Structure 1
Amino acid sequence: MICFIKPLGRFGETTGKFRSERRGLHLLVAVLVILSGMARAVDKSNFKKCDQSGFCKRNRRIQPGSSPYAADLDSARLENGVLHLNVLNTQTGILLKLELYALQNQMVRMKINEVSPLKPRYEVPDVLVAEPEVASWQLGEKSESVLEGSHGNAMSFVLTAQPFRLDILYDGQLVTRVNSRGLMNFEHLRTKKNVDPPQDENEEEKKEEEGEEQEEEVADDSEIEDEKADGMWEETFKTHHDSKPNGPSAVAMDFTFPGYEHLYGIPEHADTLALKTTKSDEPYRLYNLDVFEYDLDSRMALYGSVPLMLAHNSDRTVGLFWLNAAETWIDITSNTADKSMFGRMMDYVKGDQEVPEMNTHWISESGIIDVFFLMGPKPYDIFSQYASLTGLPYMPPMFALGYHQCRWNYNDEEDVKTVDEKFDEHDIPYDVIWLDIEHTNGKRYMTWDKHKFPNPIEMQNNIASKGRKMVTIVDPHIKQDNGYHLYKEAKDQDYFIRNKDNNEFQGWCWPGSSSYPDFTREDVRAWWASKMSPELYEGSTHNLFTWNDMNEPSVFNGPEVTMHKDAKHAGGWEHRDVHNIYGFYVHRATAEGQIARTDGRERPFVLSRAFFAGSQRYGAIWTGDNAAEWSHLKASLPMCLSISIAGIPFIGADVGGFFKNPDTELLTRWYQAGAYQPFFRAHAHLDTKRREPWLYPEENTAVIRTAIRNRYALLPYWYTLFYQASQTGVPPMRPMWVEFPEDSKTFAMEDQYMIGSSLLVRPITDAGATSVSVYLPGQNTTSMVRHTVVKEETRWYRMDTFDKMTGPTQVSLSVSLTTVPVFQRGGSILPTKERVRRCSSLGAGDPYTLKIALDAQGSAVGQLYTDDGHTYNFQKGQYIYRQFEFKDNKLISKNLAPVSEYNSKSWLERVVIIGLSESPNHVSLISQGGNTQSLEFGYSVQRVLSIRKPAINIAEDFEISLT
């Protein structure tokens, strides 16, 4: 336990002593952590491998081959467009029901459950925003062995009876094979066998007379021993016993993607962007866990789980969403399939005899099989389809996209004041300052240490007077103290999770002995949400926002540092059923509380460590307890990209690394990288040296200052991308293959990425780097101006030098400490704000600069979205959404908003056109009223035209002509 927990007291401080509640175990932990120093590393023995998890071991040993499951085609029927039929396990005689849905927006859903289970099996609620709209199947001719169906001219299926197999096609091309390897397994609920007969001969008669059911069956010793060995009815990991009262209940299925060699998604793992094969390694594991200073190049579980997988090749992108909140393992293998092996179905796969394919095997401990197939065919289509199921990302307030300053812990109000003033003194902008667990009264959340933070409202108001915000940590473990209002209320109202004996679950976390609210309950979430109001969260204001940490949930003395699986939730569900969704519910309740505290006027900001599918609706997440090492900086890129394409775009990694002390170069490079990630926060462990930007040599402080300022200059672009994400599901931070889906060189690329469609970023992630290689794609793009597929050269312009390069090409660039290779794509227009302010809100009325990078045709296009930056008034039409298009030497601004009632004070200060072949003789502005005026301009040797002070309101239609 000791190696997993952070210090519970404040160590190395010159003021204050341990309080009485920090004695005992707290003091022991503190001493041992101090003695251990910084030499920490994750102890893998504290986390299960597949062969230590009974259901994973049982299912993984099933060999590909003939499946015992057979579809009863005579039972097939259409009801409201949905195909229903029975599937029989020919070995056990257990009957399952299969439902196959054709869905709107080019998706297919398959559900498999028991026909007559002993008790209901868990079906994940609240993740889907609504029941998907059904599009009816039309069934074709049915033979004894095959049933075919289709929807329209695109989606179709072929269902083979014995062994059961389902092939899904799109546009006549095979997309996914289901159970083609025969790995399907559905562990039906059953009664427990007992080797000993009843001792009382009259016991059975008594039970029959009392109307009781006989719940035990007699079995031979070998069968009992096999079940014990397989962990079917009970299981022990280290000292933790899992009683498994419902017995084995795992579900498993294999899915094959023919014609694909690259898979992505299923975060969170500290691994590569393109998923690896697991044939001789551990499967990927989805099980939310508190793993500090995690190992890299690993498939072990981390803090969050999104069971979404994407397959991509040069022709199409498809997705698979496995809706199950229990512990899940996923095996991946690759091979080349001989078309002759699979009969006529492989005729649908185009190309030569040998076809590459990726095989996946999904195994969950409980629940049902509920899987969605997303047909694409393009990456943007996948994002839209997935968002239609689990929800569009929320629109964050503008301040949330600025820079966040955090550490464990800012000591007191004077410390907060000093840090805030130092940012101004060193002319470095920031938006939010954070307080970790030490700000509370003995780790009692939503309270304050009265000695160190005696005037929290005044402190927040001082921060807010500068346009800034504050975040405090609020974790879901509640200190067991009847004098603590949160605990007393939850206890009195029976809001806590219970243990297997039906008593209040007790686990150790920061406060010591703690209880955990059952956030799966709507009434508990409503209670928690109410606590976000300033009236109930004493010392809080509307400028205080929230950080939900430890919500996997983390239980220091629990199995794998989390909650026992046989703990009890509302509705009779075990924790094993809901584990991966617990943090999602905490996040949701907190965000809903922030919205409710202003009667729905203000947007929330909540950072969560644990997450699941649908978490994008409630706020931001981060990659957890990383380390101040170059390898962790490098790993932050694929980790953020994997989470982004799994539907959660507001993602970042702790700048500088949470554990250990970064050297000056590493910290500087991390700031440069973090400035180009969606969530931009510096954070550090209690034991680390203070590392605010001004504590380093001036040359490094200057580089960090520039990196943060560059972030603020691009806030209009970031804000526009997040608005577009909130409407389409397309993430702002994207792998290269999303923008260049036909270019196979990008498919495994993870050291560079795109921000939107306009910026290519290649962070420096190696110590002492003097050069870096960058790949600039080209010749396979869709024209951003004409929205048609055209084969034209792709131009790229360095943001710092305006040098033009033409893709596709691999370039080697010389770099210094001040260099961050960022390229603007030809054909794009970036909205920026160049004036330096101390935070984002103070720049709300500042003028804009448009940076136009021309493509080979001399054209470019871009958008700008803006609103008040913090309320929901944009939902009432109070926003500006403009499109800027440069073509035939004219820049035209037009309105994209169907209804626009928002008035902006911002005006157009400058237009920069990059890649213009020659200087114009004259530049004129035609405003909305038809007035024409000449504009000043300059033309440089880099072929850059700068047009000065058009001075027109950004919300107006206008035209700027070059002649």
Structure 2
Amino acid sequence: MEVGDMDRWRQKKNGFLALGLVLLVVAVTGAHAWKKDEFKRCDQTIFCREYRNLDIGSSKWYVSDVNLTNGKVRARLVNEDDGEAEHGGSLILHLSAYQDGIVRVKVKEADQKKKRFEVPDVIVKELEEKRLWIQRLIEKDGASMVVLSGHEVVLLHKPFQLYVRNGKETLLSLNAKGLFHFERQREKREGENWDDTFRSHTDTRPHGPQSIGFDVSFYGADFVYGLPERATGLTLKPTKGAEIVSEPYRLFNSDIFEYIYESPFGLYGAVPVMQSHGEKRTTGFFWLNAAEMVVDVLAKEKAEEGAAEEVSRVDTHWMAESGAFDAFFFIGPGPKDVIRQYTSVTGKSIMPQFFATAYHQCRWNYKDEADVFQVDAGFDEYDMPYDVLWLDIEHTDGKKYFTWDPVLFPNPKEMQDKIAAKGRKMVTIIDPHIKRDNNYYIHKEAQSKGYYIKNKHGADFDGWCWPGSSSYLDMLNPEVRSWWADKFSYSSYQGSTPNLYIWNDMNEPSVFNGPEATMERDNIHYGGVEHRDVHNAYGYYFHMASVEGLMKRGENNDRPFVLSRSFFAGTQKVGAIWTGDNNADWDHLRVSVPMLLTLGLTGITFAGADVGGFFGNPDAELLTRWYQLGAYYPFYRGHAHLDTKRREPWLFGEPYTSLIRESLHTRYALLPYFYTLFREANVNGLPLMRPLWMEYPSDKHSFAIDDEFLLGKDILVHGVYSEKAVSEEVYFPGSQPWFDVRTGASYSGGQTVQVPVTLDSIPVYQRAGSIIPRKDRFRRSSFQMENDPYTLVIALNGTYEARGELYIDDGKSFDFEKGAYIHRLFTFADGRLTSTNLAPGNKGTKEFTTSCLVERIILLGLKSKDLSSHRVLVESSGTQVSAEIGPSLLRKGYHQTNSLVVRMPKVRISDDWSIKVL
């Protein structure tokens, strides 16, 4: 083992790792930040270095032989240098179009020595059903044009360029800057060395250089967004040009511990999708390629004096080490359109169980069963709700997954049953590295079946992770994924119960002694695919297999819950992710917002950041602020490193215990609203956390704001990101007022306000014109809230109108796909609140019912002169109920004037009814 590898180990978790007869003690320092010299820079990467040095217009490709074949455009791409024999043959381009403004371009060698890897199981099967049959090709002035519904695609012949247009307006282009380069496979020349070295590792590159690079331009764009995952702001800042010198945005899934703030280096996941936005239009681009990738955002060059002003445009340069060219263009025109178009290609978000949307408590590690019960009892003692208790790697027998430590966790079923008796669940960790121990049944079977990834010599790859010597399952192979899924059965995973769910960590994959803390790129997967081609998707396939395991494990029809650290395009249809090993500091609290917003823009809606920070010890104020902000994350989990001080949410004493308790209660009260938003994501792909410009696309002031966000379209959240803060600058978008959710104070839209803050809360507001459903009774878990009544909070706009929705199902099964759900629309107009059915009449064969009542209706935004009357008529029954006139209790300890509260109208949440305020 190299010195550098040992140094990296010392940054990791404690544990005894066996290598033959030698025991290596791995010390955890916890104080050292990520060492960037352990990861490749662009100038150390052959394809990146070469492509970044290319001149604008250097591409020599042109188009010939354009025709229509099976409803697609087929063309030949020829390089001007093809007179030189060593450059090989031409390329074949296929252009296809799909419903709803999607254009797809694929390019491959006409004669392939070895088939390039095309990433499977990302594109949804239904996409092909939406393909448009192109019937006409227009040839004019050295170009071929396809006219589609609402837009057209123009293929220029020489030089090769592609433009997507809407009438005279250009939306997107490929190779407009002449940076398209495609390294075709060829024979090695005598004396040529294809090997690539980094530190002590050599990558043999047996098939030679296979890189692809090209430029994409977004017209009418002020900013571009996307390319998770990295700890940076929401907008992707320029990385090259106009005297800017920085690293490009790298997409290479890596186990980067204690990642640093404002770095373009990629973290645990990669989604090669970008969205542009301007005042008039939003467009998007997606490259389906799982190899290492880098992207430059090119700085705008200064226009020459007297030159005509150009249309706003953002140019980008995309480069990948290998893999296929399979690209999608999304024409918008709005932000929600682009997300819908992208998720119609890669899949909509999974619908989580109701419990998974509540609070999760985790630590590496709760040390034994007594510790588990003590933590569980602490939540009850301090009247704090939670739904899931998590166990990290120390719960296993010697880091062997699907096992339990016989001393620390001797009765796992009884432990889970006691937790489940309160309506709570548990999660255990299962990572992809398999301990090479001949007494371990998983290893013995995987080895005998040949299910491990192979090294370049054909032997099982042997790397190092928590158990020591480990091998890694070849999850690209569907047979291996199916076999792995079988291991989650109750007979195989002994000690597991239906109330146990799963956590996949280290699935980048992390290999402590490998290059860049992962495995060698020339390792071999199923079908002869090199690891370099599948690297960024490996964690996705492991995640997929674990989800399949929960689907197969028993007779119940419950939806799976599996959290993954690594992810790729399409992960949203598999499960949840989190932002990895963050730090307990104010910068990481703040950057969690743009990190989660970016994930949402790339389809991954069910995501969160470790509340409190994984590394380090937050003080009471920072922890409280994180709980307050995390209550509005889609995934809400507290988590901490083994070496940190215990930080269960009651340990910091008053007033912090009460403040954290209030944050947890806030989350639980809003669970009906969260669940409704998760259903929206499941249907149309929209994220729960949204940048302001998603709902206010023409508001230029909002385009770069990333310290506040919208939860759905009706709640505005701004964190508090500095110690002892007394105010925060909040921008209120739109033309309607926003109401403080605690005090009811209103702020006009379209302005920035220096809002005073105290330790009690962070700035959160409800949009005028909205109706938000809540459940306000305090319970120990979401399960105990099932039959609780609802509160409807109505924030009236300037015309005394409001609108909101509520989605309900059984919270656990797939019966909602067969029609077993309730979807209500609430409207307030002309002094009348009405509940109507939003579900289609033919929604399916299953039914779901609930007897839950509405116990309270709160109207905000009334004028004083309208508070003289207090009679309320429930028109569906003809009964009258009393209404309490403000000041009314909005949240504990806060009163709001100019409001009206209707108590116990005695209507069911699932029925049609109307209530008239007389």
TM-score (norm 2): 0.95
Change (3 A) 1:714 1:866: same
Q: Is 1:334–1:356's contact at 8 Å kept on the other side of the alignment?
A: no
Partner residue, 2:216? 255
* Match for residue 940 of structure 1 among 854, 873, 886: 886
Distance 1:338 1:368, change over 3 A: farther
Aligned to 2:861: 915
2:913 is matched with 958
Q: Which of 168, 176, 197 is the matching residue for 1:180?
A: 176
**Structure 2 portions without partners, runs of 5+:** 84-88, 888-896
1:303 aligned residue: 268
Cα distance in 2, alignment partners of residues 497 and 443 from structure 1: 20
Q: What are the superposed Cα offsets for residues 593-652 of structure 1, whole Å, 9 maximum, x if unpaired?
A: 111123461001000000000000111100000011111111111111111111000110
2:399 matches 1:403: no
**What does residue range 230-379 of structure 1 map to in structure 2 within 5 Å?**
233-279=194-240, 280-335=245-300, 353-379=309-335
Query: Taking structure 1 as reference, are residues 827 and 425 closer, same or farther at Cα in structure 2, changes over 3 Å only?
Result: same
Query: How does 1:680-719 map onto structure 2 within 5 Å?
Result: 680-719=636-675
- Give the CA deviation at 1:334: 2.9
Q: Does 2:812 align with 1:870?
A: yes
Contact persistence 1:337–1:357 (CA under 8 A):
no
- The 1:849/1:339 distance shift into structure 2, 3 A limit, reads farther
Which residue is 1:827 aligned to? 769
Q: Secondary structure at the match of 1:28?
A: strand
Q: Aligned with 2:748: secondary structure?
A: strand
Residue in structure 1 matched with residue 131 of structure 2 by the alignment: 134
SS of the residue corresponding to residue 285 of structure 1 reads strand
Alignment equivalent of 1:80, drawn from 45, 56, 70 = 70
CA separation of 1:171/1:955 partners in 2, compared to 1, >3 Å: closer, same or farther? farther
User: Counterpart of 1:90?
Assistant: 80
Is 2:159 the partner of 1:167? no
1:49 aligns with 2:28: no
One-letter amino acid of the structure 2 residue matched with residue 901 of structure 1: E
Task: Tell me what 2:152 maps to.
Answer: 156
Amino acid at match of 1:311: S
Q: Deviations over 1:329-349 (max 9, x none)?
A: 00111326979999xxxxxxx
Report how far residue 921 of structure 1 moved: 2.7
Q: Secondary structure at the match of 1:655?
A: coil
Cα distance, 1:24 vs structure 2: 6.7
One of 615, 623, 630 as aligned partner of 1:674? 630
> What is the deviation of 1:360?
0.5
Compute the displacement of 1:159 (Å). 1.6
1 CA distance for matches of 2:22 and 2:901? 66
Percent of aligned positions that are identical: 48
Counterpart of 2:76 in structure 1: which amino acid?
N
Instruction: Report the equivalent of 2:94.
Output: 99
> Deviation of residue 325 (structure 1)?
0.6
Query: C-alpha displacement at 1:961, in angstroms?
Result: 0.3
Contact 2:286 2:328 in 1 (8 A): yes
Give the superposition deviation at 1:92.
3.2
Return the letter of the residue paired with 1:109: R
Supply the distance in 1 between the matched residues of 2:10 and 2:482 (Cα, whole angstroms): 31
Distance 1:25 1:688, change over 3 A: farther
Which one is further off, 713-722 or 169-178?
Answer: 169-178
Task: Say if 1:948 and 1:110 are closer, same or farther in 2 by CA, change over 3 A.
Answer: same
* Corresponding residue number in structure 2 for 1:481: 437
Question: CA separation in 1, counterparts of 2:871 and 2:687?
Answer: 37
Alignment-derived partner of residue 104 in structure 2 = 109
Kept in 2: contact 1:437–1:473 (CA 8 A): yes
Task: Say whether the 8 Å CA contact 1:914–1:943 is kept in structure 2.
Answer: yes
Structure 2 counterpart of 1:902: 848
Aligned partner of 1:921: which letter?
A: S
Is the Cα–Cα contact under 8 Å of residues 8 and 26 in structure 1 kept in the other structure?
A: no
Q: Distance in 2 between matches of 1:610 and 1:958?
A: 47
The separation in 2 between residues aligned to 1:528 and 1:141, in whole angstroms, is 52
1:810 corresponds to: 752
CA distance in structure 2 between the aligned counterparts of 1:836 and 1:771, rounded to whole angstroms: 30
- Alignment RMSD (CA, Å): 1.8
| Deviation by residue 1:817-840 (Cα, 9 ceiling, x = unmatched) | 112100000000000000000000
Per-residue deviation at 1:922? 4.8
Residue in 1 that maps onto 2:117: 122
> 1 CA distance for matches of 2:383 and 2:20?
43
Q: Which amino acid aligns with 1:325?
A: A
Mapped partners of 1:66, 1:491: distance in 2: 49
Conserved? CA contact 2:870–2:884, under 8 Å: no
Q: Which amino acid aligns with 2:775?
A: K
2:906 is paired with a residue whose SS is: coil
- Select 1:529's aligned residue among 485, 496, 503: 485
Residue deviations 1:187-221 (CA, integer Å, cap 9, x gap): 001111123xxxxxxxxxxxxxxxxxxxxxxxxxx
Alignment partners' CA distance in 2, 1:802 and 1:3:
54
Q: Give 1:170 deviation, angstroms.
A: 2.4
Give, in whole Å, the separation in 2 of the partners of 1:932 and 1:812: 47
Which residue of structure 2 aligns with residue 519 of structure 1? 475
Correspondence for 1:202 = none
- Aligned partner of 1:69 in structure 2 is 61
Task: Please list the CA deviations of residues 440-482 of structure 1 after superposition, one character each: whole Å capped at 9, or x if unmatched.
Answer: 0010001000000000000000000000000000000000011
Instruction: Report the CA distance between 1:735 and its aligned residue.
Output: 0.6
Instruction: Find the residue that maps to 2:95 and give its secondary structure.
Output: strand
Q: What does residue range 260-659 of structure 1 map to in structure 2 within 5 Å?
A: 260-279=221-240, 280-335=245-300, 353-599=309-555, 601-659=557-615
Aligned equivalents of 2:20, 2:714: Cα separation in 1: 56
Q: Counterpart of 1:40?
A: 32
Q: For residue 259 of structure 1, report the CA deviation from its aligned partner.
A: 2.4
Counterpart Cα distance in 1 of 2:754 and 2:386: 34
Deviation at 1:729, TM superposition (A): 0.3
Structure 1 equivalent of residue 891 of structure 2: none
Q: Equivalent residue of 1:593, what SS? A: helix
Gaps of 5+ in 1: 12-17, 196-223, 343-351, 779-792
Q: Supply the AA of the counterpart residue of 1:108.
A: V
Separation of aligned partners in 1, 2:356 and 2:390:
12
Contact in 2 for aligned 1:26/1:512 (Cα 8 Å)? no
Residue 724 of structure 1, CA deviation: 0.8
Partner of 1:843: 785
Distance 2:376 2:298 in 1: 52
SS in 2 for 1:249: coil
1:893-943 CA-partner distances (Å, limit 9, x unpaired):
00111248211121100000101221263544446xx42110111111521
| Offset of residue 515 of structure 1 | 0.3
In 1, Cα distance between equivalents of 2:273 and 2:22: 41
Which among 796, 799, 823 is matched to residue 854 of structure 1? 796
Q: For residue 931 of structure 1, what is the amino acid of its counterpart?
A: S
Counterpart in the other structure of 1:217: none
Alpha carbons of 1:9 and 1:608: their partners in 2 closer, same or farther (altered >3 Å)?
closer
Q: CA deviation at 1:25?
A: 6.1
Indicate the larger mover: 862-871 or 917-926: 917-926
